[in-house]
């Protein structure tokens, strides 16, 4: 697996707050058997651009799709809820990605940090 992909998957594990070893092992297993394990750097760029557009620019019940014509990999990010938690804007999003014959989806609750980045968290 490419170094960039390993780093990306590790960052997902760390950002998820999965502290226990069994939880981290389960998340690592999911990540390595998911479409993300097969993404190219260009796939990640397209995926991140779609997520950025969906979270920062789209209204609730909006969806942003992406597709890499070079690899055939694709996905979408659908935002379906926005709430305020203290000073933070938080959104619920469904992420669907496909690479090769592998399709995966996860629902996230993310909150926008002071630096403009979105952090995966749990609903309050």
Query: pLDDT higher for 17 or 25?
Result: 25
The predicted model gives 86-100 an average pLDDT of: 94
The C-alpha atoms of residue 55 and residue 58 are separated, in whole angstroms, by: 6
pLDDT at site 29: 59
The predicted model gives 32-42 an average pLDDT of: 86
Query: Where residue 32 falls among pLDDT bands split at 50, 70, 90?
Result: low
The C-alpha atoms of residue 5 and residue 3 are separated, in whole angstroms, by: 5
Is the pLDDT assigned to residue 14 strictly greater than 90? no
DSSP-based three-state secondary structure for 49: helix
Average predicted confidence (pLDDT) for the chain: 83
DSSP tag of 58: P
Query: Where residue 90 falls among pLDDT bands split at 50, 70, 90?
Result: very high
Closest CA to 101 of 41, 34, 51: 34
Query: pLDDT higher for 26 or 97?
Result: 97
The predicted model gives 61-76 an average pLDDT of: 97
Q: Report CA-CA distances (Å) from 1 to 8, 31, 33, 76.
A: 11, 12, 12, 23
Is the pLDDT assigned to residue 22 strictly greater than 70? no
pTM: 0.73
Closest CA to 39 of 72, 13, 14, 65: 72
Query: Where residue 109 falls among pLDDT bands split at 50, 70, 90?
Result: very high
């Amino acid at each position: 697996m490419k170094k960039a992909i390993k780093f990306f998957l590790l960052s997902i594990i760390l950002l998820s707050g999965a502290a226990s070893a069994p939880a981290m092992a389960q998340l690592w297993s999911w990540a390595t058997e998911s479409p993300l394990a097969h993404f190219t750097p260009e796939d990640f760029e397209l995926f991140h651009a779609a997520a950025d557009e969906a979270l920062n620019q789209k209204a609730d019940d909006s969806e942003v799709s992406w597709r890499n014509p070079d690899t055939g990999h694709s996905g979408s990010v659908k935002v379906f809820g926005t709430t305020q938690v203290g000073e933070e804007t938080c959104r619920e999003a469904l992420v669907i990605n496909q690479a090769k014959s592998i399709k995966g989806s996860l629902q996230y609750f993310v909150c926008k940090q002071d630096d403009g980045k979105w952090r995966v968290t749990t609903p309050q």
